[in-house]
Structure 1
Amino acid sequence: MKKAARGHKTGYRARLRAQIVLRAARGRSNARIAVEVGVHVDTVRTWRGRIAELGLPGLADRQRPGRPATFTALQAAQVKALACQLPAEAGAPLSRWSCPELAREAVERGIAPFPSTSTVRRWLGQDALKPWQHRSWIFITDPDFRPKAERVLDLYARIWDGIPLGADEYVISADEKTSIQARCRCHPALAPGQARAMRVNHTYGRGGALAYLAAYDVRQATVFGYCEPTTGIAPFMALVVQVMRQEPCAGAKRVFRVVDNGSSHRGNAAADRLVAAFPNAVLVHTPVLASWLNQVEIFFSIVQREVVAPNDSPDLAQVGDRLRAFEDRYNATAQPFQWKFATSDLDDLLARLDRHTADHPEESSVALAA
């Protein structure tokens, strides 16, 4: 009791009641205790009577029934079910549900009489439902998705055709980042300050656009890149020459180049063109619409966050200089990406998609037709 009356971590009400009981145990009057503790004398009388009747358990709050529930569990479940439908399926002219719109729809359907937005939000929070959020995704359309993806994943694990790669064999991930614009802001950007984010003027003048071509050494975490006015076969082959004519690729036994299915390096023609120029090179394509398997895309996302956005450059020359300077800065401290998506994860992904298409065959047929 003394610890509860003096403890700094004890709740205010529990500490107050403990102080009343301790003073009552010393024989002090209700009026004196009320003055010392700073409460009304009726409060002291209440807790003295409670402790005399029930003992220490009497210091806890009594169970209160509270106000009767305004809405039933069935009404809450019906609103949750509505939130799990697309608005178009429910006949609402919306792209996604919000709590105010769900509350309004519940009233119009006669589900519940005027639930508040906070009530709907509380109901949805019970099952972690957030219908206002959305994520984009795409069906697998490549009939050879698994063997193509498995080859790429095996290369990241340094395996080719079931045989581990040697020390003189390298894996290069290559691609292009297009349409990097030079945007000259009409007013200079303002540096961040206390409780203030950096401010960038919305209006700008266009200074053209360029493409950034990059090749990423998966094992050594080294980027080789350069800028071109546009993409195409010639710029891509120029990047190949830049990488293959310097070490370690120049003296390598084999160099595997992982690319997506872009027009500048698509199909068998691109593979033949690469081998004709460099016999030790092997072109490996990711599955169609699966650029996420290409590790250089991770580097491009870093470039987008740290160099490109927000863009405030007077001309393309400054954009190119900044990209090359960042490439040197990145290579100085870069570590290989911790790629954790293995062939076992690929099998799990395909199994989930198979279950989904089995439940929704119409979506599968539409995706294959596309």
Structure 2
Amino acid sequence: MAERVRVREISADEGGRLLGLVRRSSGSVVTWRRAQIVLWSAQGMEVGQVAPLAFSSEDRVREVIHNFNADGFESLYPRYGGGRPPRFSAAQRAEVKRIAVGRPADRGLPFSTWSLAKLAEHLVAKGVVDDISHEGLRVLLRDEGVSFQAMKTYKESNDPDFEAKKDRIVTLYGIADGKTEPEPDDPAVVICVDEFGPLNLQPHPGKQWAPVGGSHKDPNRGPRRRRRATYTRPHGVRHLLAAYDLAGDKLYGHMKKRKTRTQFLAFCRYLRTLYPPEVRIAIVLDNFSPHLSTRKDTRVGDWAQANNVELAYTPHYASWLNRIEAHFQALRYFCVDGTDHPSHKEQASIIRRYIRWRNNNAADKKLNDIVNRANVC
């Protein structure tokens, strides 16, 4: 029969010290786990109950309790040899990275993501490393190019012609960037077109500069702007029909009350007037219904054929291929976030002024940082 082992009686001060070791977020994982084992035993738990909680064997739990009964808190701290502990080998670092980017559930653990504490504990329990602090683990992961990031969503395209459409758009981008030699029938100008909106009159969330600790109720620290709450929005919406000329690095836009095929064609005619009729242009656009020709309404296709225009449609659920999306991110940051426009006229005015500013300041660092972060293709 296995020996029944229980930690000795501990005082209130010792209990508080053990609790402090368990709650801290830095230091040796070995010390942290040993303190947990001692606390569980002090709470009346048997060795067989403690072992699965500690991800350890019953023999190891008994050893920790015996050592604490004999040596007290000194037994909680690992006794390394003299000098600096050895660095982790390349194989250990690779294994730590492999485990960190995986899912805990795949290893039979009852949680969905790794924290530094859980990951460090698992690495020690599995013998990947003898010991590692939470901060040491964070530094190791950072050196290996791993950081704690928010999960992103994606939508997979179900377009049967995905590859052909994507390759054509990428080729057009290469022509506009001067990286691809154009064929005789290839367009000389590439324009990305899409709609931004709907834009309604509401307070938009955003950020601002304000005194530290500032409050609208604290006059000594200065007032901080508040965002108005709204419940009814009776003023309708507006839509921005926008285009981005890749080679010219120019943004164009028209504000409209509606975004039907009629408004879209009017905007396309405007874009066509920017270049001589003999210059072939390509328009990259998504599969929004006003952009398409149908059996009942062939105006879009007829206009493109008659005006020396190639329409390059992105695959379904692949609007990220349209480079204008990245410029919408910058537009939202500079002239929509944190605003509360009283009228559509004022809202349209600031958007038009932004487009003029953007075309005159295309080299602005903040602008390019936002666009480059958002640009996928």
Same-fold status (TM-score > 0.5)? yes
2:249 corresponds to: 221
Q: Report the structure, 1 or 2, having the larger strand content.
A: 1
Contact persistence 2:186–2:280 (CA under 8 A): no
Deviation at 1:102, TM superposition (A): 1.9
Segments of structure 2 that go 5 or more residues without pairing to the other structure are 1-80, 215-222, 369-375
Q: Is 1:98 matched up with 2:115?
A: yes
Deviations 1:192-211 (A, max 9, x none): 57999x96535532646432
The structure-2 alpha-carbon separation of the partners of 1:267 and 1:273, relative to structure 1 and needing over 3 Å to count, comes to closer
Aligned residues: 270
Deviation at 1:174, TM superposition (A): 0.6
Deviations 1:116-169 (A, max 9, x none): 422332342343332545455555543333332232233330589822657xx5
Structure 2 counterpart of 1:117, which letter? Answer: H
1:162 to 157, 168, 183: 183
Instruction: Give the structure with higher Rg (CA).
Output: 1
Determine the C-alpha separation between the residues in 2 that align with 1:175 and 1:124: 40
2:196 to 167, 170, 177: 177
2:330 to 284, 302, 323: 302
CA RMSD of aligned residues (A): 4.5
Determine the C-alpha separation between the residues in 2 that align with 1:65 and 1:114: 16
2:146 to 129, 133, 136: 129
1:119 corresponds to: 136
Contact persistence 1:222–1:331 (CA under 8 A): yes
Contact persistence 2:201–2:237 (CA under 8 A): yes
Written as runs of structure 1 = structure 2, the 5 A alignment for 1:1-370 is: 65-66=82-83, 79-92=96-109, 94-105=111-122, 116-132=133-149, 134-137=151-154, 139=156, 141-156=158-173, 157=175, 162-163=183-184, 169-184=188-203, 191=209, 201-202=226-227, 204-205=229-230, 207=233, 209-244=237-272, 246-248=273-275, 251-266=277-292, 272-277=298-303, 279-280=306-307, 281-334=309-362
Report the TM-score when normalising by structure 1.
Answer: 0.56
Segments of structure 1 that go 5 or more residues without pairing to the other structure are 1-63, 339-345, 350-370
The structure-2 alpha-carbon separation of the partners of 1:264 and 1:89, relative to structure 1 and needing over 3 Å to count, comes to farther
Report the TM-score when normalising by structure 2.
Answer: 0.56
Contact persistence 1:260–1:266 (CA under 8 A): no
1:353 corresponds to: none
The structure-2 alpha-carbon separation of the partners of 1:77 and 1:242, relative to structure 1 and needing over 3 Å to count, comes to closer
Contact persistence 2:293–2:300 (CA under 8 A): no
The structure-2 alpha-carbon separation of the partners of 1:117 and 1:286, relative to structure 1 and needing over 3 Å to count, comes to same
Determine the C-alpha separation between the residues in 1 that align with 2:241 and 2:350: 14
Structure 2 counterpart of 1:120, which letter? Answer: L
Determine the C-alpha separation between the residues in 2 that align with 1:113 and 1:203: 56
What SS does the aligned partner of 1:205 have? Answer: coil
